[in-house]
Amino acid sequence: MFKLLMRAFPGWYEYNSVYAMFPFTIPSENKKLFEDMKVESEYSFKRPSPPQNPIVFSTAKNAMRILGDQKTFKVIWGDAISRLTGGVEYMLSGDLPSNTKQHNQVVAAVSTEVSDGMKEVWDFYAKRMEKLLAERSYPLGNSILQVDAAREYPLCLLR
């Protein structure tokens, strides 16, 4: 039921919503039970609500202004990455000056401190992709190769 609600109403529920995880129960009663078990902090008791409509900025000037203003405009994936990493922030996971510094250091290390650094990164991924395609593809007919994405990448289907 959780997956059905999360897919049918994207953005309406938080990832740990008791309304989605326990849809046929009373949230206030769940809260009492979870308080007794000392796990209430792991769940959200916020009622489902429609997600905000995105605001589209279509000019380069606005894009540069937004990307340069970390105090006002936050990365949208920050909370999700924080939950995955246990609160550890690195590079693109946050909006702090330390995140920008880390990002700049990685870009400098890859693109300027190593001669042809970006070309080496590109070549690595191109060779790796060719190897994976050669290993995991199979012929379809006489001249076409196919990769079964549903078999090879089942986690992608859960989104």
Confidence of residue 159 (pLDDT cuts 50, 70, 90): very low
How confident is the prediction for the chain on average, in pLDDT?
A: 84
79-88, 119-128, 140-149: range with highest mean pLDDT: 119-128
In tens, the pLDDT along 109-121 reads 777 766 777 788 8
User: Any idea where the domains of the chain sit in the sequence?
Assistant: 2-97, 114-159
Q: At what angle do helices 97-111 and 117-136 cross, to 10 degrees?
A: 80
Query: Once rounded to an integer, what is the mean pLDDT over residues 128-136?
Result: 87
First to last CA, the chain: 15
Residue 63: the pLDDT is 86
User: How many residues comprise the chain?
Assistant: 159
Does residue 45 surpass a pLDDT of 80?
A: yes
53, 63, 70, 104 from 74: Cα distances, Å: 16, 13, 6, 18
